[in-house]
Structure 1
């Protein structure tokens, strides 16, 4: 993590905790956001993804209280707060952040893990509505904080990710796959993480030192729960049932074509995206290991076209931003939409020697829909969840 950025975040959440609860927190836990380099909407189809954690994160300050309530404070939302009985059934709230906190507590309880009274303060710097998994970062940080605070046993980092995914699926209301939570929990510094979303096996893929990861916000905000994300998941499940496979991950390109005659055109395009995206993701991991930017550039371009034409999750601003970035990069790097879709960000793999010029090019040739400058984030591939301090 960028040292100065993390220090500011730590100071902010610690001071908010002290102001609210009158004492220092027992510990601070941080979990990063993520950017997916390639492999979109493949995770809930039991497929392959290639994300990396980024040096933007959520920090949770936590300590015990004498009661049985969990009391939580959202530093980034004007000091909004919540309080609930840890052992009682989940009760959905209007404010989504509260559902994340309550959902993690309920998901731990569902696993038979008992929570005691806790005081919590939350602060983060993962850009909101950008497709950089601020929600997964929050969920993983909360799960780790509860685990450490209450000395819960039997949860490794993969277990923490599964708790956070369970909360999203069953309590927050987003039918996300495991990718976001798993990379936030398990990422390695300086590497992307190739994940098999069926077996949950993960392999670190080193990112060559001369490359940077740039994330550029289109200026179009997005939100998974309110988008067509869940609709796409249902369409994929229906396509898998048509082909009589457990998940689209099990479908080959040949089988996809052979069985398409009785499948409606929309479902076929959805399935074609997933099948081809899995193939691209495996090839991209090999290209990254080989530092083969020509191949990686082509694979990222094909991925974006598939998301635009077959999965239909891009928007005009995103398409324009990718077009502008590709004009600059050529075959020296790659660019594509990243995240669930319908707005948010693009990700670019850029030679460090060209990063500043790339940002200047974007500023010169792209404007957000409200005629503004696109927010530009130069990210470092970072490690997963960690305890920053503990008394």
Structure 2
């Protein structure tokens, strides 16, 4: 496992990040009464294409972004993990037990135990450490703070106890296991994979044990656009049932045809069986299945457009994906809470500024959290101002694509 320097990870922001690590070291020393020995980082991610396709073995287009969670760490001589995350109570996890606990559902200690358990099942080691973490990844906002934390923990176990021998894909898989089985959230693998691998990538999950990952080289800055993520001030924290209904409904359509997931079918089969599917699964499930097929195909077209330098076609496809999520996937606001529709307002405001330029769409799981926009640089100030007028100062983040995934950090 290679260590990366601040300059390699953060590029032009390296000096500011060095100050951030210095403050984290001070906090660690106050909490644990010792100097930390090792340093780690794992990024948030931005889903660019393939909204809710990963959990049905589909394709996604995603990137690691410049918001991350960092950790100061010292190994222990026992099986106790103590992690104090800024703004949260300290977690203490005894790794002598690696079974899911009902008492840990939905809390961060379950992720620590879950990553350790998953890596142990794979034949790797896990052991104790003291750690302090601080994050710039918005919790519950669709940039995937939970995946970043899981990948961070996986990299700590990898470096401290496995000589860096665990590859990024296996760390992502262990992280997903932690979230699904221990935390209790039925997420796909995209979030963890984008955070763990880094860069700008397409991932094809047709073979879940061996996902196909392809790097894409494209400079958004040179295209004259900025990638913006807008925090609409909603949280995914209380919306697990809404989120879980999407893969469940999609898979109910697959099960109608005795298949495990939609990727084993094609859209024509759905279209030929409308009446029976509507009666058995319901209209929303059918619409969500149709969204899956269309967005799954769009990922291929988006990647081809970028590889061909055709940014206008790419933007058109981003807008098509956003429209499909709004109308057919229906994850822009929670049906259980129709009074709160921050994402809908954010998308309206984005369209009002962008007109027929740029693109905007739901970002990540949906229902609350963030929207994504590709904004022409000459409209950037107006776009930020309009979103901050709606959601408050600091709600709009202008991000860069991070070239490095989860990693140990070399501060020398």
TM norm structure 1: 0.90
Aligned partner (choices 210, 228, 251) of residue 214 of structure 1: 228
Q: In 2, Cα distance between the equivalents of 1:331 and 1:187?
A: 31
Residues 33 and 153 (structure 1 numbering): CA distance in 2 closer, same or farther, change over 3 Å?
Answer: closer
> For residue 400 of structure 2, what is the aligned residue in structure 1?
380
Pairwise CA distance, 1:43: 0.4
- 1:349 equivalent in alignment to 2:374: yes
- 1:301 equivalent in alignment to 2:319: yes
Matches within 5 A, 1:103-142: 103-142=114-153
- 1:324 equivalent in alignment to 2:349: yes
Residues 95 and 37 (structure 1 numbering): CA distance in 2 closer, same or farther, change over 3 Å?
Answer: closer
Aligned partner (choices 28, 49, 55) of residue 66 of structure 2: 55
Is the 1:296–1:333 contact (alpha carbons within 8 Å) kept by the matching residues of 2?
Answer: no
Q: In 1, Cα distance between the equivalents of 2:19 and 2:362?
A: 30
Residue 263 of structure 1: SS of its match in structure 2? helix
Is the 1:294–1:332 contact (alpha carbons within 8 Å) kept by the matching residues of 2?
Answer: no
Q: In 2, Cα distance between the equivalents of 1:94 and 1:251?
A: 34
> For residue 258 of structure 1, what is the aligned residue in structure 2?
272
Aligned partner (choices 135, 143, 148) of residue 154 of structure 2: 143
Residues 166 and 288 (structure 1 numbering): CA distance in 2 closer, same or farther, change over 3 Å?
Answer: same
TM norm structure 2: 0.86
CA RMSD of aligned residues (A): 2.2
Q: In 2, Cα distance between the equivalents of 1:241 and 1:252?
A: 14
Q: In 2, Cα distance between the equivalents of 1:294 and 1:34?
A: 23
Is the 1:293–1:333 contact (alpha carbons within 8 Å) kept by the matching residues of 2?
Answer: no
Matches within 5 A, 1:183-332: 183-188=194-199, 192-199=200-207, 200-208=211-219, 209-210=221-222, 211-223=225-237, 226-264=240-278, 265-315=283-333, 316-332=341-357
Residues 148 and 128 (structure 1 numbering): CA distance in 2 closer, same or farther, change over 3 Å?
Answer: same
Residues 95 and 251 (structure 1 numbering): CA distance in 2 closer, same or farther, change over 3 Å?
Answer: closer
Residue 261 of structure 1: SS of its match in structure 2? helix
Residues 243 and 373 (structure 1 numbering): CA distance in 2 closer, same or farther, change over 3 Å?
Answer: farther
Q: What stretches of structure 1 move > 6 A for 4+ residues in a row? A: none
- 1:168 equivalent in alignment to 2:179: yes
Structure 2 unaligned residues grouped into runs of 5+: 1-9, 334-340
Is the 2:24–2:134 contact (alpha carbons within 8 Å) kept by the matching residues of 1?
Answer: yes
Residues 95 and 16 (structure 1 numbering): CA distance in 2 closer, same or farther, change over 3 Å?
Answer: farther
Q: In 2, Cα distance between the equivalents of 1:176 and 1:263?
A: 25
Is the 1:87–1:114 contact (alpha carbons within 8 Å) kept by the matching residues of 2?
Answer: no
- 1:182 equivalent in alignment to 2:202: no
Is the 1:36–1:52 contact (alpha carbons within 8 Å) kept by the matching residues of 2?
Answer: yes
Is the 2:93–2:112 contact (alpha carbons within 8 Å) kept by the matching residues of 1?
Answer: no
Residues 147 and 139 (structure 1 numbering): CA distance in 2 closer, same or farther, change over 3 Å?
Answer: same
Structure 1 unaligned residues grouped into runs of 5+: none
- Number of residue pairs matched by the alignment: 381
Residue 203 of structure 1: SS of its match in structure 2? strand
Residues 319 and 162 (structure 1 numbering): CA distance in 2 closer, same or farther, change over 3 Å?
Answer: same
Q: Which moved more, 1:32-41 or 1:105-114?
A: 105-114
Q: In 1, Cα distance between the equivalents of 2:226 and 2:317?
A: 18
> For residue 337 of structure 2, what is the aligned residue in structure 1?
none
Residues 18 and 223 (structure 1 numbering): CA distance in 2 closer, same or farther, change over 3 Å?
Answer: same
Residue 277 of structure 2: SS of its match in structure 1? coil
